[in-house]
């Protein structure tokens, strides 16, 4: 469920007409609903608690939406943060998320990032390889600290989803095998600079089938039991990202309740603290990208191109993953649906949001919204073609705030410096 709906023939975000935001802030613009973010977080938390999971840490995957106001909205409800860079740690801290609820993941942490994370006092560093374990150990020792680490395991399950975002197969770059995890965990327990506190996994994103998760989680449980049988202490089990979301009339993904029940069954009798790193299931349907139709290019050969003021630099998912985003006119016009190709102004064919999409009739100047753009939308945006980053707006009831303004062209140019030999 989300809080974007037609009221009086006009698309609203909560109590604010999106056309009002477009008029006042300009387009393209990302708009997020606080009520939807809050609802998705609380539904997941309540489902995990109802399934009897003790004190779960829900660390929102900051990569999905790194806007500080979004993070603060979730942090106030008790969310932690799953981060993959120093920048994301800084964002989580800036949002008021306490370091003890921050989990630092990622395959390529630099020495400086590890030092920063330890200085900040993050709860856990998810170690993805043997060299990284040695790096964390050395950095922590140099600082006179002992880093709490989890070993990230690659559970080697096929989970479907797009090839570019599947992570749980042995051929992917993430994590270590079960056998290696056992060896590393035992080694880590003898290192002065680290203390192994748990194991972690993540099998991929946009997964809408519980079976591969169940299989992976049961393997993780087996690992916890083997480690404990060797006399090692394992306090935390991090089960990675969340469920997929429906981007259109796909079969509904499993409910958070079904997900939580599946975990409770797989983990029955295991006394451990669970951690989760959901991004998409919390943020995707809490955000839209609003764009204006610059013109309708009706080709004699029969194709109708809707040329928008938004482009692949604003919302990369269709170009990168052939992702489908529902497109809704702000004020749907009467009439038979028309088949459109929806494109942006960037100079490459890949700047196509969709082809052959039947939509209500649309005219130049109309506003449209890309639905489900709250996760991996603004976070993946760039300035390609020297286009300004789209601003971000957070709605709460009848109010809204511009939580990241559109930069100016001066802002863009002022970041650069002349080379001395080019100034003479």
279 near ligand LLP (CB under 6 A) = yes
Sign of the four-CA dihedral 295, 313, 287, 204: positive
Per-position x/- string for 320-359, each x denoting binding to ligand LLP as judged by CB under 6 A, each - no binding: -x--------------------------------------
The window from 13-21, 39-47, 49-57, 271-279 that contacts ligand LLP (CB under 6 A) reads 271-279
27 counts as binding ligand LLP under rule CB under 6 A: no
Site for ligand LLP in 43-62 (CB under 6 A): 61
Closer of 242 and 329 to ligand LLP (Cβ): 242
| Nearest to ligand LLP of 305, 321 (CB atom) | 321
List all residues 6 or more positions away from 416 whose beta carbon is below 8 Å from its beta carbon.
Answer: none
The token duo for 280 is 């998409």
Asked if 105 is part of the footprint of ligand LLP (rule: CB under 6 A), the reply reads: yes
Helix (H, G, I), strand (E, B) or coil at 94: helix
Supply the minimum distance, in Å, between the C-beta of residue 279 and ligand LLP.
3
Single out the segment in contact with ligand LLP by CB under 6 A; choices: 34-42, 176-184, 253-261, 279-287: 279-287
Residue from 33, 34, 65, 206 in contact with ligand LLP (CB under 6 A): 206
Q: Is 166 in the site for ligand LLP (CB under 6 A)?
A: no
**Is 376 near ligand LLP (CB under 6 A)?**
yes
Residues touching ligand LLP, count (CB under 6 A): 21
Asked whether 203 and 159 are in contact (CB, 8 A), the reply is yes
Query: According to the binding rule CB under 6 A, does residue 82 interact with ligand LLP?
Result: yes
Q: Give the Å distances, CA to CA, from 399 to 23, 288, 331.
A: 15, 17, 21
C-alpha–C-alpha distance, residues 29 and 424, integer Å: 40
Please tell me whether the peptide bond between 28 and the residue prior to it is cis, using omega within 30 degrees of 0: yes
Query: How near is the Cβ of 145 to ligand LLP at its closest, in Å?
Result: 24
Binder among 205, 292, 354, 372 for ligand LLP (CB under 6 A): 205
Binding mask 85-104 for ligand LLP (x = CB under 6 A): --------------------
Q: Assess 40 for contact with ligand LLP (CB under 6 A).
A: no
Pick one of 64, 140, 157, 191: the residue that binds ligand LLP (CB under 6 A).
Answer: 64
What is the secondary structure of 34-93 as a DSSP string? HHHHHHHHHHHHHHHHHTT-SS-EEEEETTT---HHHHHHHHTTT-EEEESSHHHHHHHH
Active-site residue 13, yes or no?
no
Based on the shown chain and the rule CB under 6 A, indicate whether residue 309 belongs to the binding site for ligand LLP: no
Instruction: Say which DSSP state 421 is in.
Output: G
CA-CA distance, 114 to 140, in Å (whole number)? 8
What's the CA gap between 383 and 297, in Å, rounded? 25
Query: Rounded to the nearest whole angstrom, what is the least distance from the CB of residue 264 to ligand LLP in the complex?
Result: 19
CA distance 22 to 108: 39
Contact call for residue 129 and ligand LLP (CB under 6 A): no
d(CA 169, CA 357) in angstroms, rounded, equals 34
Tokens of 141: 């020792």
Q: SS3 breakdown of the chain: % helix, strand, coil, rounded to 5? A: 35, 25, 40
Q: Which of 229, 347, 398, 413 is catalytic?
A: 347
Query: Least distance from C-beta 124 to ligand LLP, angstroms?
Result: 12
In the complex, which residue's CB is closest to ligand LLP?
Answer: 241
What is the DSSP annotation of 122-154? -SEEEE-SHHHHHHHHHHHHHTT--EEEEEEE-
Q: Could you give the C-alpha distances from 406 to 162, 247, 270, 399, 409, in angstroms and in order?
A: 32, 27, 49, 19, 10
**80 touching ligand LLP, by CB under 6 A:** no
Exactly one of 75, 155, 193, 240 binds ligand LLP (CB under 6 A); that residue is 240
Could you list the residues that contact ligand LLP (CB under 6 A)?
61, 64, 82, 105, 165, 167, 202, 205-206, 240-242, 277-281, 317, 321, 375-376
Catalytic residues: 347
């Amino acid at each position: 469920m989300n809080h974007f709906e037609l009221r009086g023939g006009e698309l609203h975000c909560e109590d604010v007409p999106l056309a009002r935001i477009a008029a006042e802030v300009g387009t393209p613009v990302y708009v997020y609903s606080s009520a939807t973010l809050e609802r998705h977080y609380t539904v997941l938390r309540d489902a995990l608690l109802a399934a009897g999971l003790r004190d779960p840490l829900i660390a929102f995957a900051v990569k999905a939406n790194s806007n500080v106001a979004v993070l603060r909205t979730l942090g106030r409800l008790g969310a932690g943060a799953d981060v993959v860079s120093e920048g994301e740690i800084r964002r989580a801290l800036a949002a008021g998320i306490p370091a003890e609820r921050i989990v630092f993941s990622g395959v390529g942490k630099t020495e400086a990032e590890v030092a920063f994370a330890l200085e900040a006092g993050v709860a856990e560093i998810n170690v993805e390889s043997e060299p990284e374990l040695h790096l964390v150990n050395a950095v922590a020792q140099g600082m006179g600290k002992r880093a709490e680490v989890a070993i990230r395991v690659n559970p080697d399950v096929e989970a479907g989803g797009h090839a570019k975002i599947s992570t749980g197969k042995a051929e992917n770059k993430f994590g270590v095998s079960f056998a290696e995890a056992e060896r590393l965990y035992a080694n880590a327990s003898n290192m002065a600079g680290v203390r192994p506190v748990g194991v972690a996994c993540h099998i991929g994103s946009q997964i809408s089938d519980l079976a591969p998760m169940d299989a992976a989680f049961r393997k993780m449980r087996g690992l916890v039991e083997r480690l404990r049988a060797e006399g090692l202490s394992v306090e935390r089990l991090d089960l990675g990202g969340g469920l997929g979301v429906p981007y259109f009339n796909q079969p509904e993904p499993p409910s958070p309740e079904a997900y939580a029940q599946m975990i409770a069954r797989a983990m029955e009798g295991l006394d451990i603290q669970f951690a989760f790193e959901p991004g998409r299931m919390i943020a995707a349907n809490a955000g839209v990208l609003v764009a204006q139709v610059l013109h309708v290019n009706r080709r004699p050969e029969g194709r109708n191109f809707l040329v928008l003021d938004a482009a692949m630099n604003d919302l990369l998912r269709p170009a990168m993953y052939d992702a489908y985003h529902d497109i809704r006119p702000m004020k749907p016009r009467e009439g038979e649906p028309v088949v459109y190709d929806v494109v942006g102004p960037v100079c490459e064919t890949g700047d196509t949001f969709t082809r052959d999409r039947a939509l209500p009739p649309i005219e130049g100047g109309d506003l449209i919204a890309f639905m489900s753009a709250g996760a991996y939308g603004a976070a993946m945006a760039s300035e390609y073609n020297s286009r300004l980053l789209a601003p971000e707006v957070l709605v709460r009831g009848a109010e809204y705030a511009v939580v990241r303004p559109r930069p100016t062209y001066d802002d863009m140019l002022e970041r650069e410096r002349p080379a001395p030999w080019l100034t003479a």
